[in-house]
Amino acid sequence: MLMRMSSLFLRTLRDDPVDAEVDSHKLLVRAGYIRRAAPGIYTWLPLGLRVLAKVKAVVREEMAAAGAQEIHFPALLPREPYEATNRWTEYGPNLFRLKDRRENDYLLAPTHEEMFTLVVKDLYSSYKDLPLTLFQIQTKYRDEARPRAGLLRGREFIMKDAYTFDLDAESHRASYQAQRDAYERIFTRLGLPYVIVTATSGAMGGSRSEEFLVPSPIGEDTFVRSPGGYAANVEAVTTPVPPDVDASDVPAAHVEDTPDTPTIATLVAVANERFPRPDRAWTAADTLKNVVVALTWPDGRREVVVIGVPGDREVDMKRLEASLAPAEVEQAGEADFAAHPELVKGYIGPGALGPNGAPRTLAEDGTITAGAVRYLLDPRIVPGTRWITGADQPGRHVFDLVAGRDFTADGTVEGADVRAGDSAPDGSGPLELARGIEMGHVFDLGTKYSQALGLTVLDQNGKARLVHMGSYGVGVSRAVAALAEAYHDDKGLTWPVAVAPAHVHLVATGRDEAVFEAAEAIAAGAELAGIEVLYDDRRKVSPGVKFADAELLGVPVVVVVGRGLADGVVEVRQRASGVTREVPVAEAVGVVAETVDSLR
């Protein structure tokens, strides 16, 4: 394979695209791998398409090795199957919906659980047909509220999605493991360092769920690890619930004027000065912070909810959103406060949220009072804990308010932030935090989809049984971005051999015809040896521009044919390490082959 820069459809850019925030996005555009067509929607140019094809090939090979069979579903699908599982509604504004000329409803599929379930139902009927693993590599659509970072979060993107079908949970575990093992091989072959973490299931249903994250400071996912081996997406971290506290000696709650306490720190200082605890000083962790958020449910309904967390923690909107799925969560706005005059900004307390000791959204006759909002607490706020919080009046706080004794809530929610040093839920030690890019996700779907769509098979006793399913995704187009993120330096990309658009970037410099003749010979020899060559054969481009392009494009081995040719040598450089050798021109092809092999 030989590509010539003189005719390659490529234009490298000096400047970063204005809409690019992360290095991979900047470099993939600047190096001419992709171009933006619309927000979150990209065109693949020749070099980008080659990288993508290599990623796909690795995924296909490992799926085949795992016994998965490839099929291919349409992207444009009728509404009905997604209606049966309620996802037509649950996906809310993330789903691209449209009508055909007969006014029938269609969607652009964000994921294909329904269709895989139905095709197996269509073809199979017996336990003898199972286990079965199917996959596709397919273009998917999600109308993201905030497409970002180029290919990392797009609205049209390519995924490998696989599905397993088993007679029972035990058989499912083996199928799940086979996919999980295949994922380890895929990411290892691609050169993507990964961490497997426990995850939430989101709108996918099911029980067991793990993510493959590539650690990266620009990742959208935060994950935690403990010394004892616990690893989870931060959205899946559960808070260890402390035991109830004996509050029999806590005095009755009392409301006090607290002027000049604009922050939690000033409030704590005032508390320690004017209402000292006998046992220890008040801290921020003794204040109860009530945060007002607005949920948007898939049917468009907006709900105002108050989240109570210890004052030393923030509400983590992504954790909260994961806990309250399928609602979308945002900070409450002015209109929400206007609709709830009982919520006094800065002084919200359980008092405004309902009568002490009773579920507060319910009136005595069992109806929900107008303007009442649900109140959800952090799991640490157990009965007997003692709090300082707002008194629902400007400039006043309530002290010694005891959970369970003086107030209750509608339930608990995992909405507080997770911090380095927090205890792992399994007791395996303190957590450390890091960020990562979600590259893969494996799910136990249980029988959610087979139940919704009626996928049963007859078992050994002739009895119909719901098929146990699993779902497994790899972000194929995202992998290209994750690789660019993992493999670049300040000069450009530094692709691993397995996914590079070519193995060697051959640069001929100067105006000497002998240089171009020698370069042609090396190009031909390398091509014959099965080496993929990108040959910069441009005649009127300066060496500086050619070298800069070679750095930017990031092909793993760079061969320079130039001045050294007079002495019979060419330069062979490893792009990533910078390690450079001069080699006799006659040995160039052999050295390149060795160098490429050494980098595999």
Nearer to a second copy, 245 or 325 (CB): 325
CA–CA separation, 198 and 236 (whole Å): 7
Nearer to a second copy, 64 or 420 (CB): 64
CA distances from residue 67 to 111, 238, 491, 505, 571 in whole angstroms, order as listed: 21, 35, 41, 37, 45
Nearer to a second copy, 174 or 420 (CB): 174
Nearer to a second copy, 41 or 368 (CB): 41
- Neighbour-count burial of 403, counting CB atoms closer than 10 A to its CB (0-12 exposed, 13-18 middle, 19+ buried): buried
The reply on whether position 103 binds a second copy by CB under 8 A is no
Residue 29 Ramachandran class (φ > 0 left, ψ -120 to 50 alpha, else beta) = alpha
The reply on whether position 146 binds a second copy by CB under 8 A is no
The reply on whether position 100 binds a second copy by CB under 8 A is yes
Cross-strand bridge partners of residue 215: 436
Q: How far is the CB of 342 from a second copy (least distance, A)?
A: 32
The reply on whether position 297 binds a second copy by CB under 8 A is no
Q: How far is the CB of 226 from a second copy (least distance, A)?
A: 39
Stretch that binds a second copy, among 116-124, 279-287, 501-509, 574-582 (CB under 8 A): 116-124
The reply on whether position 93 binds a second copy by CB under 8 A is yes
The candidate with the shortest Cα–Cα distance to 482, out of 299, 237, 262, 212, is 212
Strands (E), 282-431: 288-296, 302-310, 328-331, 374-377, 386-390, 396-402, 411-412
Q: How far is the CB of 151 from a second copy (least distance, A)?
A: 12
Helix H or strand E segment including 225: strand 221-225
> Are residues 362 and 368 in contact, defined by beta-carbon separation less than 8 angstroms?
yes
Stretch that binds a second copy, among 136-144, 197-205, 329-337, 390-398 (CB under 8 A): 136-144
The reply on whether position 185 binds a second copy by CB under 8 A is no
Nearer to a second copy, 131 or 590 (CB): 131
Site string for a second copy, 373-392 (x = CB under 8 A): --------------------
Q: How far is the CB of 78 from a second copy (least distance, A)?
A: 5
Nearer to a second copy, 98 or 586 (CB): 98
The candidate with the shortest Cα–Cα distance to 127, out of 469, 463, 470, is 463
Stretch that binds a second copy, among 38-46, 214-222, 439-447, 545-553 (CB under 8 A): 38-46
> Measured on CA atoms in the order 409, 415, 420, 422, is the torsion positive or negative?
positive
The reply on whether position 134 binds a second copy by CB under 8 A is yes
The candidate with the shortest Cα–Cα distance to 550, out of 520, 531, 574, 522, is 574
Nearer to a second copy, 100 or 597 (CB): 100
Give the side-chain half-sphere CA count within 13 A for 298.
14
The reply on whether position 41 binds a second copy by CB under 8 A is yes
> Out of 17, 84, 89, 97, which residue is the one contacting a second copy (CB under 8 A)?
97
Q: Which residue has the tokens 């403990």?
A: 226
Structural Rg of the chain based on CA atoms: 30
Q: Which two tokens stand for residue 278?
A: 């006998």
Quickly list DSSP for 95-113.
SEEEE-TT--EEEE-S--H
The reply on whether position 98 binds a second copy by CB under 8 A is yes
Which 410-449 residues touch a second copy, going by CB under 8 A?
none
CA–CA separation, 468 and 466 (whole Å): 6
Which 63-82 residues touch a second copy, going by CB under 8 A?
67, 69-78
Nearer to a second copy, 296 or 574 (CB): 296
Q: How far is the CB of 128 from a second copy (least distance, A)?
A: 9
The reply on whether position 14 binds a second copy by CB under 8 A is no
The reply on whether position 514 binds a second copy by CB under 8 A is no
> Out of 43, 460, 542, 577, which residue is the one contacting a second copy (CB under 8 A)?
43
Nearer to a second copy, 19 or 567 (CB): 19
Task: Show Cβ contacts of residue 219 under 8 Å, excluding neighbours closer than 6 positions.
Answer: 213, 435, 436, 437, 438
CA distances from residue 505 to 1, 45, 414, 566 in whole angstroms, order as listed: 12, 18, 51, 21
Antiparallel, parallel or unpaired: β 156-166 and 221-225: unpaired
The reply on whether position 486 binds a second copy by CB under 8 A is no
Binding site for a second copy (CB under 8 A): 7-11, 32, 35, 37-38, 41-46, 49, 52, 67, 69-78, 93-94, 96-98, 100-101, 106, 108, 115, 119, 122-124, 132, 134, 139, 141, 143, 145, 155-156
